[in-house]
Amino acid sequence: MTATSTADLDQIRSDYKSLRNSLSGSAQAYLEPGKPVAIGTAPGRLDVMGGIADYSGATVLEATIGARTTVMVQPRQDGLIRVLTVGSEAGPLDGATFELPTATFWRDDTPSTHGTLVAPEDLRNTIGKEHRWASYVVGVWYILISEGIAPSLPGANVIVHGTVPLGAGVASSAALEVATMRAVTTAFGIDLDGFRIAALCQLVEHRVAGAPCGIMDQVTCTLGQSGRLLALRCQPHDILGHVPLPAGATVLGLDSGVKHAVGGERYPRVRTAAFMGREMLIRGINGVQIEVPADHLCNIIPEQFRTVRQHLPVSITGGDFLDRYGSHRDLATHIDRNTRYRVRGATEHAVTEQSRVVRFRDALGDAMSTKERIREAALIRAGRQMFGSHRSYSRNCGLGAPETDMIVNLARNEGPENGLYGAKITGGGSGGTVAILAEANAGGVLSPRANLAVSRVRDAFGRSTGRPPRIIDGTSQGAMLLPAIIEVW
């Protein structure tokens, strides 16, 4: 074991002991004394560039944050999965419990290698909307079985503790899935690599939770590195590297307080529209068609897209699309015949966002210069790409929110002269967190002028809304970069 992994192991054990000591007596009694407990932990993530274009094959740039979710799993032999959530970040879910027999996964209520699993939507209905949060936990069991990783699995006592803000667009659901998957596979001796864990967690979200997310959240929570941006080419999930931030720059988030949900209505509608646009371009619109390399919109050259853009309808009903094209070939979303989809904007965003990501990454590379003038100019260019991405979220996709627009505009008004280079809405949009590229001192700490600028942004937002935005910062290792551990309770 390397010195680094030894330090990580010591930190996990220290965090585990602190968490255990912080639990109330009833929470501690949820686990059986003297029995082994497997511990999984995963960070949230800050979407710096790329965002929703992940499902169209974009390269995304993602940062891990300091906040983490920790899951403790203690096997039990009666087939019952018992889940308890604890911690102030759980909000109304602090102290919430959920129980489900593993027999529920099977149509004949008898776990068997020859049995038939219930459909994921039936399991989702059994869990119910009131306990939807639990689908991210028990869904891990279901997916491991349905994907043939394990013929069946015992039940377990499960405690979930997280500091990742819920509904803030910083991948709280992915952190929960990944931490649970890490703990469950450790508890039951299942050996999976990081990509496999991320892909399985995406299936948990798609099939059991019913949220059509891309894979960037799960990969970042699993394989992200502290202090670097994970460059992930989502075709389907090729890591292009971990991009260091240049000296003198950092990223942080400001939580607007507007709850974001991938499982809401707007995000799935935009994703559906993008896949409809892809199908139209491939199969032709009024005799005009275009090559979509590898079936990913993000592989289209923007200049080429502009020659056919006007042929895409601004919007189309699901019924009209289905009557003409039959399918949009996206297993994660369903076309509603009566819904009108903004096809042109959703398609354009996917194509142009990829170009913005490339320019942003190139600018970060230029900002590695030791010459102050070159570094500053490069960071300003990077910031422009963030502002462009934010504008496209709202105009092309309809995924903006007045609160996130306010934060971005306040940051833009502060400008590079006050240490703020760029800002954008993150993840699935519709509220949540704004990412900011800011000036930093050694160690990634905000420079004095950037710190004052962020304070002014928060104060102005607070005066307008009555709630200053929470700062989301820090950085930490992805789940698979930390050792798996089992402790005796």
Closest CA to 350 of 296, 427, 386: 296
For residue 218, the number of C-alpha atoms closer than 13 Å in the C-beta half-sphere is 28
User: Where exactly are the structural domains of the chain?
Assistant: 3-241+476-488, 244-262+353-472, 266-346
Confidence band, pLDDT 50/70/90 cuts, at residue 430: confident
* Predicted pLDDT at 1: 38
107-112 long-range Cβ contacts below 8 angstroms, 24+ apart: 111/79, 111/152, 112/152
Mean pLDDT value across residues 183-206: 97
> What phi, psi does 472 have (nearest 5°)?
-115, 110
Closest CA to 281 of 269, 289, 270: 289
pLDDT in tens, 1-11: 344 467 777 77
> Which helix or strand (DSSP H or E) is residue 341 part of?
strand 340-341
Mean pLDDT value across residues 286-305: 94
Using CA atoms, how far apart are residues 426 and 390, in angstroms rounded to an integer? 8
Using CA atoms, how far apart are residues 49 and 231, in angstroms rounded to an integer? 10
Confidence band, pLDDT 50/70/90 cuts, at residue 428: confident
Closest CA to 134 of 169, 108, 164, 160: 160
* Predicted pLDDT at 15: 79
Residue by residue, DSSP assigns 21-48 as: HHS-HHHHTTS-TTSEEEEEEEEEEEEE
Using CA atoms, how far apart are residues 412 and 396, in angstroms rounded to an integer? 20
> Which helix or strand (DSSP H or E) is residue 361 part of?
helix 343-366
Does the fold of domain 244-262+353-472 match that of domain 3-241+476-488?
no
> What phi, psi does 54 have (nearest 5°)?
-60, -40
Using CA atoms, how far apart are residues 264 and 189, in angstroms rounded to an integer? 35
* Predicted pLDDT at 334: 94
The pLDDT mean for the chain works out to 93
Fold of 3-241+476-488: Ribosomal Protein S5; domain 2 (3.30.230)
- Whether 417 has a pLDDT exceeding 80, the answer reads yes
Confidence band, pLDDT 50/70/90 cuts, at residue 110: low
* Predicted pLDDT at 399: 93
Architecture of domain 244-262+353-472: 2-Layer Sandwich (3.30)
Q: What's the pTM?
A: 0.90
Mean pLDDT value across residues 196-220: 93
Confidence band, pLDDT 50/70/90 cuts, at residue 264: low
Produce one character per residue of 91-121: b if its CB has 16 or more CB atoms within 10 Å, e if not.
Answer: eebeebebebebebbbeeeebeeebeebebe
* Predicted pLDDT at 141: 98
Q: Name the H helices within 434-489.
A: 448-465
> Can you tell me which residue has the tokens 């299936």?
203
Confidence band, pLDDT 50/70/90 cuts, at residue 114: low
Tokens of residue 463, six digits = 């005066």
- Whether 489 has a pLDDT exceeding 50, the answer reads yes
pLDDT in tens, 339-369: 999 999 999 999 999 999 999 999 999 999 9
Using CA atoms, how far apart are residues 385 and 376, in angstroms rounded to an integer? 15
Q: Within 10 Å of residue 425's Cβ, how many Cβ atoms?
A: 34
Tokens of residue 474, six digits = 């820090």
pLDDT in tens, 140-192: 999 999 999 999 999 999 999 999 998 888 999 999 999 999 999 999 999 99
In angstroms, the Cα distances linking 371 to 58, 83, 145, 376, 417 are 31, 54, 56, 9, 17
Q: Name the H helices within 128-230.
A: 132-146, 172-187, 194-203, 216-223
